[in-house]
Structure formats: C-alpha cells, structure tokens
Amino acid sequence: MKTISLTLVAALTAACSSTPAQPPRASVTTVGAQTASLDQAQTFGFGPANPPAAGFDVTPRALEVQRRLSALVESALEKRGLSHAADNPDLVVKVSAGSGAEDQKLAGRGNETETTPRGFISIDVYDAETGAGLWHGTGQADINPSTIDDALLASAVEGILARFPTRTESQ
C-alpha cells in the first residue's frame, strides 16, 4: 500500500511540475520608414492585398485568414488612436496571407525530410497621398492545416504592430 501511495504522489508531483505546453508563436519582423512620420495621420483605409512572400501561395484558406487579419488590424489601429475611413484616408493598409510548407531534415535519419505546414501574414502601411511605404511587418508560424488558430493570428498582429505609433488626442 505504501508503494502505491508513494508512486501516486510521485506521479502527481511530476505531472504538476511539468512545464505546460507553450502555445504556438509566430516569428515577426517589422520595418518603419526612417523618414516617414505617422504622427499626423488620423485615418486609415484598406487597399487591395499584396501578394504573399515567395514560397507561400494564396489559397482559399489563406483568403479566410486574410479576412480575419483585416478585422484584427482594424481593431489594433483603432486602439492606437486611428479611425477607419472609407473615403480619403491618411493611410492605406494592405494585408496579405499565404500558406506554404517547409521541409526539415529529420535528425539522425539520413536524408529523410518532414514537411511542416507554415503560414505567412504581412501588414503594409502606405501614405495615401504619396504612396510611400511607411510600415512593413510580417509574421510566419507553423500552422495546423485543418484549422485557423485565431489566438496565434491575433498575437502575430499585436507583435507586428507592437511598435506602431499610438496617436494621442494632443496630436
């Protein structure tokens, strides 16, 4: 009986102390134009999508991601003090999404490879008057091809726009 109790306590301790599985994360990169000022912008609108990066294709699933991406970007920009304007916006936002796969060599197994499904998103912000690029951000992540991970998509948008300027009322 003592052995069973000790085994049960050890198993529960190991289960409680194990590290919970980390949610999937996107790797993001951003670039803001050095000479551009976003401080004066008050409104934004959406333009036609840019094509995804090389190695990623536009698929029906990617188009659904793009639709969800637009709603997330709109919300994120509104939180940063900008207003959505259908006519004559100060900024034009273009989003894109794509699906692809990455071949990875399996360790210790000769030349065998495993294909990992990958997703790509980008957010580009342009000056509506001049067309000059003001902000470019991308995100990539391993994805589950059978479902769209809305939490992963939202965290990628926040990561991409984390350093995007916030407009205050005094501006």
101: which residues sit within 8 A by CB, 6+ positions away? 115, 116, 117, 118
Q: Which is more confident, 160 or 32?
A: 160
Quote the CA–CA distance of 167 and 171 in Å, as a whole number. Answer: 7
The parent domain of residue 93 ranges over: 25-161
> Would 2 be classed as within a structural domain?
no
Q: Which residues contact 5 (CB under 8 A, 6 or more apart)?
A: none
Task: Examine residue 68 and state whether it is found in any structural domain, yes or no.
Answer: yes
pLDDT of residue 145: 84
User: In the prediction, which pLDDT does 161 show?
Assistant: 94
The predicted pLDDT at position 22 comes to: 57
Q: Using DSSP, how many helices (H) and how many strands (E) does the chain show?
A: 3, 6
Q: Quote the crossing angle between the two packed helices 60-79 and 150-161, to the nearest 10°.
A: 50
Among 19-23, 32-36, 63-67, 103-107, the minimum mean pLDDT is found in 19-23
Amino acid at residue number 148: I
Is residue 118 within 8 Å of residue 101, measured between CB atoms? yes
Q: Confidence band (pLDDT; 50, 70, 90) for 90?
A: very high
55: which residues sit within 8 A by CB, 6+ positions away? 100
Does residue 56 have a pLDDT over 80?
A: yes
The CATH number that applies at residue 139 is 3.30.160.670
pLDDT at 153: 96
**pTM, two decimal places:** 0.77
Any domain includes 170: no
Number of domain units in the chain: 1
Using a pLDDT cut of 70, give the percent of the chain over it.
73
